[in-house]
């Protein structure tokens, strides 16, 4: 038997703030989750899958209209015609709602109960699927504790939307331990909620997060897709990853250590972007460029607007789209001890102001008009409201990094 394990599809997820990439790119981003689902459906047929398991967060919350559900139903109809069963549970983002509950699904699709664990026997496949969906968004109790024991003579598959023992960036929903999952002795546990693909238990009773189907933000980098799980009698399940994403977010790290010419920095950026694009399986790349290392150019690289303009131009020539460019470059550390003491003294004063926005605001009020006008005329800060504490805090952060670079021998 072969199953395909998917999770966290977030169909028609509202991808906010992506208009900054241009109209055509924003449109492509908004349609990415649908196209990834279409890929999944076609690949299930291509792979001769017997069963598709969706471990929660099929949707991204309340629908704006029925179009989202109708699209999903249409895709499931394609699997019905191919003789492929589908079993799903709801997660925190698509917990039972009036619209979800009223959607009529094709007969090959079964949504498991949300009140208690349900065991669905699929006689023609010789398997049973155990699972429970979310009745509300915030499920903080351990659902796995109520899951039934394995049924002898069948391939036992568990489905659960959970954070297990916790994962960065994910709420601790339906917490449980790897040992509790293994104790159920299921032949495979399909997990959802964590967007990074990872193994929780390996060996005889494997449990995996498949990750999300399509990266949606700069935090969701690398190939995204599903897990293909094959069962052979007397053998542990064999698990392999298969990408189905249609565009890819990537972090591009550029080491500028020792560089003293901006042209060298941009050349290194171009090389790394080209390398990233070449390993993206031919998919469009949205790149987060991060400059790292130690260089006397640290101060000059703090101009975010200029850096992003240069990075965006280079990205376009390498068939990529710039999502963000940031410099984490530090100034060289080899400086005179006396300068080091002066540096620490000045930076301590800057940090003290940064930690007390109201004190900072009071200091600004003491500046005479000529100095304030000079600040307003400085490159990159035109039109900024120096009475806004958040704005001034950002300027202070930029000043701190520039000061660090200057005192260490850099330039701004």
**350-370 pLDDT per residue, tens:** 667 667 766 766 666 665 455
- Quote the domain boundaries for residue 288: 248-327
pLDDT over 70 at 377, yes or no? no
What is the count of structural domains for the chain? 3
Mean pLDDT of 89-114: 81
Predicted local confidence at residue 368, as pLDDT: 47
Helix axes 337-354, 357-366, angle to 10 degrees: 100
**Are 44 and 132 contained in the same domain?**
yes
Mean pLDDT of 293-321: 92
Task: Please indicate, yes or no, if residue 332 is contained in any of the structural domains.
Answer: no
Task: Please indicate, yes or no, if residue 155 is contained in any of the structural domains.
Answer: yes
**Are 124 and 234 contained in the same domain?**
yes
Mean pLDDT of 295-318: 92
**Are 319 and 210 contained in the same domain?**
no
**Are 70 and 208 contained in the same domain?**
yes
Task: Please indicate, yes or no, if residue 271 is contained in any of the structural domains.
Answer: yes
Q: In the structure, what pLDDT confidence band is assigned to residue 40 with cuts at 50, 70 and 90?
A: very high
Task: Please indicate, yes or no, if residue 412 is contained in any of the structural domains.
Answer: no
**Are 225 and 107 contained in the same domain?**
yes
Mean pLDDT of 392-408: 61
**Are 95 and 200 contained in the same domain?**
yes
**Are 169 and 118 contained in the same domain?**
yes
**Are 189 and 40 contained in the same domain?**
yes
Q: In the structure, what pLDDT confidence band is assigned to residue 277 with cuts at 50, 70 and 90?
A: very high
Residue whose token pair is 């470059």: 329
Predicted local confidence at residue 407, as pLDDT: 53
Query: How big is the CA angle at 272 (ends 268 and 274), to the nearest 5 degrees?
Result: 115
| Domain closes at, from 327, 361, 377 | 327
pLDDT over 50 at 349, yes or no? yes
Which CATH number do you get for residue 86?
3.60.21.10
| Domain closes at, from 327, 350, 379 | 327
Mean pLDDT of 276-280: 96
Task: Please indicate, yes or no, if residue 37 is contained in any of the structural domains.
Answer: yes
Predicted local confidence at residue 379, as pLDDT: 47
Mean pLDDT of 255-278: 95
pLDDT over 90 at 346, yes or no? no
Lowest mean pLDDT segment, chosen from 18-27, 45-54, 77-86: 18-27
| Domain closes at, from 243, 258, 278 | 243
pLDDT over 70 at 116, yes or no? yes
Mean pLDDT of 88-107: 77
Predicted local confidence at residue 66, as pLDDT: 77
pLDDT over 70 at 220, yes or no? yes
pLDDT over 70 at 26, yes or no? no
Predicted local confidence at residue 19, as pLDDT: 53
Predicted local confidence at residue 389, as pLDDT: 62
**Are 322 and 183 contained in the same domain?**
no
**Are 91 and 40 contained in the same domain?**
yes
pLDDT over 80 at 381, yes or no? no
**Are 298 and 347 contained in the same domain?**
no
The 10s digit of each residue's pLDDT in 133-175 is 988 878 889 999 999 999 999 999 999 999 998 767 677 888 9
Task: Please indicate, yes or no, if residue 71 is contained in any of the structural domains.
Answer: yes
Task: Please indicate, yes or no, if residue 304 is contained in any of the structural domains.
Answer: yes
Hey, what are 63's tokens? 């629908």
The 10s digit of each residue's pLDDT in 50-87 is 999 999 888 876 666 678 888 999 999 999 999 999 99
Task: Please indicate, yes or no, if residue 134 is contained in any of the structural domains.
Answer: yes
**Are 239 and 254 contained in the same domain?**
no
Distance CA 377, CA 355 (A): 26
Q: In the structure, what pLDDT confidence band is assigned to residue 184 with cuts at 50, 70 and 90?
A: very high
């Amino acid at each position: 038997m072969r199953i395909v394990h998917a999770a966290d599809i977030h169909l028609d997820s509202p991808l906010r703030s992506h208009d900054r990439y241009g109209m055509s790119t924003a449109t492509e981003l908004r349609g990415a989750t649908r196209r990834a689902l279409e890929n999944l459906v076609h690949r299930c047929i291509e792979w001769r899958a017997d069963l598709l398991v969706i471990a929660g967060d099929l949707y991204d919350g309340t629908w704006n209209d029925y179009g989202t559900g109708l699209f999903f139903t249409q895709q499931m109809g394609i699997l019905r015609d191919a003789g492929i069963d589908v079993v799903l549970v709801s997660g925190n983002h698509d917990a039972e709602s009036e619209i979800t509950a009223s959607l009529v699904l094709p007969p090959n699709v079964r949504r498991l109960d949300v009140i208690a664990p349900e065991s669905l026997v699929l006689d023609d496949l010789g398997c049973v699927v155990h699972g429970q969906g979310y009745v509300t968004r915030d499920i903080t109790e351990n659902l796995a504790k109520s899951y039934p024991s394995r049924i002898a003579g069948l391939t036992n598959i568990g489905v659960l939307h959970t954070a297990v023992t916790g994962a960065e960036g994910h709420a601790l929903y339906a917490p449980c331990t790897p040992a509790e999952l293994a104790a159920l002795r299921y032949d495979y546990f399909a997990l959802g909620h964590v967007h990074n693909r990872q193994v929780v238990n390996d060996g005889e009773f494997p449990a995996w997060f498949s990750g999300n189907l399509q990266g949606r933000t700069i935090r969701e980098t690398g190939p995204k897709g599903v897990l293909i799980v094959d069962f052979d009698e007397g053998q542990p399940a064999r698990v392999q990853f298969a990408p189905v994403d249609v565009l890819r977010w990537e972090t591009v790290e550029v080491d500028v250590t020792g560089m003293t010419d901006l042209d060298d920095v941009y050349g290194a950026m171009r090389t790394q972007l080209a390398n990233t694009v070449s390993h993206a399986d031919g998919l469009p790349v949205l790149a987060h460029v991060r400059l790292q290392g130690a260089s006397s150019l640290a101060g000059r690289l703090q101009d975010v607007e200029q850096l992003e303009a240069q990075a965006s131009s280079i990205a376009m020539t390498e068939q990529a789209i710039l999502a963000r460019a940031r410099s984490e470059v530090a100034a060289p550390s080899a400086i005179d001890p006396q300068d080091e003491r002066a540096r620490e003294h000045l930076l301590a004063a800057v940090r003290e102001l940064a930690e007390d926005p109201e004190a900072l605001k009071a200091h600004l009020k003491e500046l005479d008009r000529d100095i304030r006008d000079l600040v307003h005329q400085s490159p990159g800060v035109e039109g900024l409201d120096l009475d806004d504490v958040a704005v001034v805090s950002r300027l202070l952060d930029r000043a701190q990094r520039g000061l660090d670079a200057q005192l260490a021998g850099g330039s701004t």
